[in-house]
Chains A and B, each alone.
Chain A
């Protein structure tokens, strides 16, 4: 459920053109006595960026502060590279840049003692930024474009994505639980579909615009989950393929053109929605 440039038929730039990497090597780091250091400007997704660091911290002690700076709506992902790739520190965040808030990052990106432990080699510090510019589309989750980076995110953030999804599902289950007690009120053919755009807007608003979460991976998870629902609605082959490797519950919702449609009897589905174990 993870597609590529070829089947991305949206207008504008291709996904690969919206993603870019920049590596900044700071030599003789121990001799730097400036409060802040700026990288050269680099371009990703049609926007210009630079990295700003405070080697001795920005309003904090004993930390390296690191920020990505620009002047338009985007998302950012900087990392400091350790000589041992497994030890490289990755921090991921989403941010909507605007005129008065053109920089975003971490004041306490890393403790200074940690910086010296493998990150500074031959008096050189390497900082790598991976930037993904997000198309302004509020009614669709978006994916993480870079495969390697995405895998790194899964390693670091999967548990927190689980917590976020669990919290969101359980909150809604609680409300639905009260409804199911009133069985007489519901009949099979009423209130069983809604435009996908209407619901996906709510999804994106919950997870991105209201900033309840600031990780690319949540949006990426929703993106692939939605693709899965679409595939299952279009062809049963996709589902059969999935079942080869792992038992997955039948979808409770299918997609018919631009509508989400409940896939079975309303009360049965409601029970499932409330009682089925968390994935």
Chain B
């Protein structure tokens, strides 16, 4: 179960970083 939760967090964090970098790339 811990491994699944870790994967889930990783997936969410990856998605968040992608959205953030798109905001930066757009604004700048």
The residue of chain A having its C-beta at the shortest distance from the C-beta of B13 within the complex is: A279
Q: Which chain A residues lie closer than 8 Å to B11 at the CB level?
A: 154, 158, 161, 217, 220-221, 224
Whether A165 contacts B17 by the Cβ 8 Å rule is: yes
B contact residues, total (Cβ < 8 Å)? 24
Complex alpha-carbon distance, A273 and B17, angstroms: 9
Given the known interface contacts A198-B26, A245-B5, A279-B13, the answer about A169 and B19 at a Cβ–Cβ threshold of 8 Å is no
Q: Which chain A residues lie closer than 8 Å to B12 at the CB level?
A: 1, 221, 224-225, 227-228
Q: Which chain B residues lie closer than 8 Å to A193 at the CB level?
A: 27
Whether A225 contacts B9 by the Cβ 8 Å rule is: no
Complex alpha-carbon distance, A270 and B21, angstroms: 10
Whether A179 contacts B28 by the Cβ 8 Å rule is: yes
Q: How far is the CB of A244 from chain B (nearest CB, A)?
A: 12
Q: Is the interface of A mostly helix, strand, loop or mixed?
A: helix
A226 within 8 A of B: yes
Given the known interface contacts A191-B28, A245-B5, A262-B27, the answer about A169 and B13 at a Cβ–Cβ threshold of 8 Å is no
Complex alpha-carbon distance, A198 and B27, angstroms: 11
- Selected from B5, B10, B22, the residue in CB contact (under 8 A) with A202 is B22
Whether B23 contacts A169 by the Cβ 8 Å rule is: no
- Selected from B4, B8, B15, the residue in CB contact (under 8 A) with A222 is B15
Whether B21 contacts A172 by the Cβ 8 Å rule is: yes
A49 within 8 A of B: no
Q: Which chain A residues lie closer than 8 Å to B23 at the CB level?
A: 194, 199, 252-253, 260, 262
A162 within 8 A of B: yes
Q: How far is the CB of A277 from chain B (nearest CB, A)?
A: 10
Q: Which chain A residues lie closer than 8 Å to B17 at the CB level?
A: 165, 169, 225, 278-279
In the complex, which range does the number of interface residues on chain A fall in? Answer: 35 or more
Whether A168 contacts B27 by the Cβ 8 Å rule is: no
- Selected from B10, B14, B16, B24, the residue in CB contact (under 8 A) with A270 is B24
Whether B25 contacts A175 by the Cβ 8 Å rule is: yes
Q: How far is the CB of B19 from chain A (nearest CB, A)?
A: 5
A sample of 21 inter-chain contacts (CB < 8 A) reads: A158-B7, A165-B14, A169-B18, A199-B23, A199-B26, A217-B11, A221-B12, A221-B15, A222-B18, A224-B8, A225-B13, A225-B17, A229-B20, A246-B9, A248-B13, A251-B16, A253-B19, A253-B23, A273-B21, A279-B13, A279-B16
Task: Show the binding face of B for A, using Cβ within 8 Å.
Answer: 4-5, 7-28
Task: Show the binding face of A for B, using Cβ within 8 Å.
Answer: 1-2, 141, 151, 154, 158, 161-162, 165, 168-169, 172-173, 175-176, 179, 191-194, 198-200, 202-203, 206, 217, 220-229, 242, 245-246, 248, 251-253, 260, 262, 269-270, 273, 278-279
The 8 A-B residue pairs with the shortest CB-CB distance in the complex, in nearest-first order: A225-B15, A225-B16, A221-B15, A172-B25, A279-B13, A224-B12, A222-B15, A165-B14
